[in-house]
Amino acid sequence: MEIGIVGLGKMGMNLAFNLKDHGYDVKGLDLSEAALAAAKKEGVATFTNLEELTASFNGRRIIWLMLPAGEPTEKVLEQLLPLLSAKDIVVEGGNSNYKDSVRRANTFAEADISYFDCGTSGGISGARNDACLMIGGDKEVFASIEQLFKDIAIENGYLYAGASGSGHFLKMVHNGIEYGMMQAIGEGFQVVEQSNYDFDLAEVARVWNHGSVVRSWLMEIAEAQFRQSPKLADYRGVVAASGEAKWTVETALEMDVPVPTIALSLFMRNLSQEDDSFSAKVVSALRNGFGGHEIVKK
C-alpha cells in the first residue's frame, strides 16, 4: 500500500519510519532539505511538491498530513484537493479543531474523496513505534484501511471514533485532560522541592511510578528529566499553550459542562509566560520529554 506523508517534522518523520517498518511504500514531502535528506537516507522516497507526490502513485492515493493546525494545514489541503481523484483518501493527523475537520470532510466528500481526522497521541516515541490513534470519518471506508492503523498503533491503541470530527474531538479533550494532569504534577513537585526536606526528585518520581495511584508515563518522564537535570536548571518556567485545552474549555462552555481543572491549567500556561515558577519548569520538562517541545533556556 502506497502512503504519502506530508510534513516530516518530529511526528511525521517518525510516523513515516513506523509505516516503512510495517512494509508500506512510504513517500515523504517537506519544505526542509534536511528533513528530506534524513527520510531518503532511511529509504523513504522524497518529493518537494504536491504535484510530484500525487503523480507518483500507481493506484489509490492515501495522503497523510502531519502539519501544524490552522493555516499550514488549510493551505496544503486547498492545494491538494484538485490533485486527487475520486476514492482517494486523506488522513489528517495534526491537532486540528474538530469543527475544521467536519468542514473539510464535507468539502472533500463533494469530490468523492474520503477524509479522516486522526487524533494522534503518544509523542515522538509513539509515532515511531506504538501510536495511540482516534479516527473519525466514513465507517465503510475506514474498514478498508483499518489494518493501516492497527499496524502502527500500540496493541488496543486505535479507535474508530465515529463520524467526521470525532477523532479530533477526542484528541482535543485528551489534551485538555493532559494539561490538568501535567499541572497537578508540576504543582506537587514544587511543594516537594520547596519543602524543608532534601528530597531526590528523581527518586520521588520513581517511587510514585511504582504501585501508586499517580503512576503514569508522565511520572516516568518526570523521573527521566530529573535524573538529567535534578533541579531543572536548564529550563525556564515558560510553557506554551498549543490550542487544544482552549478549544476544550470553549466546547465545554458551549455544552454547559464545567471543566474547572482544565480551565485553570490553561490559565496557568498563560501565567507561565510571566512567572518563572518551579511547577511550570516541571510542565516544560514533561512536554520536552514526550513531544520534543523546545526548551526555553534561561
Return the active site residues: 171, 178
239-120-221 Cα angle (round to 5): 50
CA-to-CA distance for 45 and 32, rounded, in angstroms?
14
Q: For 214, left (φ over 0), alpha (ψ -120 to 50), or beta?
A: alpha
| Interatomic CA distance for residues 124 and 130, integer angstroms | 10
The region, left, alpha or beta by phi > 0 then psi within -120 to 50, assigned to residue 163 is: beta
Match 466528500 to its residue by C-alpha cell. Answer: 109
| 283 burial type by CB count under 10 A (0-12 exposed, 13-18 middle, 19+ buried) | buried
Beta strands in the chain (DSSP E): 2-6, 25-29, 45-47, 62-65, 89-92, 114-121, 131-136, 153-162
**Other residues' Cβ atoms within 10 Å of the Cβ of residue 18:** 20
Amino acid at 15: L
Tell which residue, 69, 2, 15, 77, has the closest CA to residue 42. 15
Distance CA 194, CA 190 (A): 6
